[in-house]
Structure 1
Amino acid sequence: MSQTVLISGPPGCGKTTWILNRIQSHRGPSGFLRLVGYPDEGLLQARDGGIDLAWLQDQCPGLLDLADPDQALAPRPANLLALIELPQFQPPADSGLAGLDRRAIPQLEALHLSPDEHLHFGRDDLLPRQDTLDFSSLQALERNLAGSVWDPASLSSFWFELVNGAYGDVYRAKALMNLPDGRAFFCNWMVSREGSQFLPLQTTASPDGRPQHLSRLVVQGKDLDPAAIEVTLADCLLSDALLELEQARLRQQEAPSHPSPAA
């Protein structure tokens, strides 16, 4: 039996992690949609630019992108679990489907989606509460890093500085970052947690030029300093010449060695 569940909650409460666990435990096809959310006064929503979808599709091959109009027109597979993520700062006044933000309904209808269930972090006991925070003000910063490759040591330094206040009071940060050896990482941090997550993607690229997959940085907080972040990014991202130098060394290490012919 197919099911469509809408999950809402504030930044960093664990929506995507909960959705990943549901997909991995479901014996059947799954699909995902992330709605943009609606800003309340003084609270800016951050457009994730596809980070959540890219991470989930890497971890769950075959996951359907329910934002694709072709998926809306195609027959849905049997036993489909459709999971919809909606950033929402304040708990709805009503429980269940009655609490669904009415502004989301036209977009859902356009994609032929009708939730059977609505769960909100901070309201429903089925969801964890430890990372559900109340925000009085919030800024958002988004940076498209498509094709960018990080110096590994610089990435560690930048992320440490970012979450420890060097560029403003950061509450939430997530990113997809590329390294010269073809690996990519989902970087995730929330002020209510201890430490950051650096989770490797299963999909890797060959160390030969700039990767084609999604790379992006999203930060939410207060008194953010975008100019300082831009300066640091310029120092941390590899130029074409440095990238080729590093990748040439990696390719040389991977090249099979051939024994000398016998005399």
Structure 2
Amino acid sequence: MNVYKGPYLEIKFEEENQRFINYWKSTPNNIEEFKSELLVYLSCLEKFNPIQIIWLQQNFKHQIDDETKIWVEINILRPRFEKGYIKIDKEGYHPIAFVVGQDVLSHMEVMGVFDEPNPSVFKPKHFATEQEARDWLNHKLIDLKAEPKNKTSTEIAYKGLDEDGNAIIEIKKSATDIANTIKSFKRALEENDFIKSNVEKYASLTKREKEVLKLLSKGGKQKEIAEELFISTHTLREHWKKIKQKLDVQNTNELIKYSIAFQSK
């Protein structure tokens, strides 16, 4: 049953399982158009009250910023959560499934709607295909966590250049772990950006300051670190003071971020 057919979003309602199927025909041109479609979506939710939802993201290429993520949480997700129609399962997931689109970077930000800047009221699952999403909602998958015996490793292949001269890299990994695979890509990209933005700061540290940084980031006590480096606690504090100034960090969490990013440098 067709519920809505807008400029970008289409919604169907499967009465037999009380399920919404949401399909992006194309990506909204801007944030306001994106919000407008979601507000219509919310009105459809309130009218039909589905208990299961599938989002088909194949054509969605919009990278959602943090401000929009917060807007979605406050104006779309929380109102629906408060209605109480969508129940959590024994594994802690709500019956909301996202099928990964072609633009993986955009899907990273879609995942971020439920994780960043703060955890969402809903916890969905992400799948490589619509059939896997349906099987999960139908409780037909035997073990989503089990890796196929012949596909435990990651395959990476160079596929040549596109029309613009950009390198095409193909990555093959088990579809059953698509969410964690995308999250690992996101962490790698963020770490790479962090390294590029802060490499000069890190390079300004002396060899001793790098040693102190590494030990402090591991949670070592100042007295123990000083003894390990054969220096006084006063000298150690002076090193820490200079490290904070050079890296512009204020706390241990920021320190750990530097240590992880540059641990092999």
- Normalising by structure 2, we get a TM-score of 0.24
- Normalising by structure 1, we get a TM-score of 0.24
Larger relative contact order (Cα-Cα within 8 Å, sequence gap ≥ 6): 1
**Normalized per residue, which structure has more strand?**
1
Q: Which entry has the higher C-alpha Rg, 1 or 2?
A: 2
**Normalized per residue, which structure has more helix?**
2
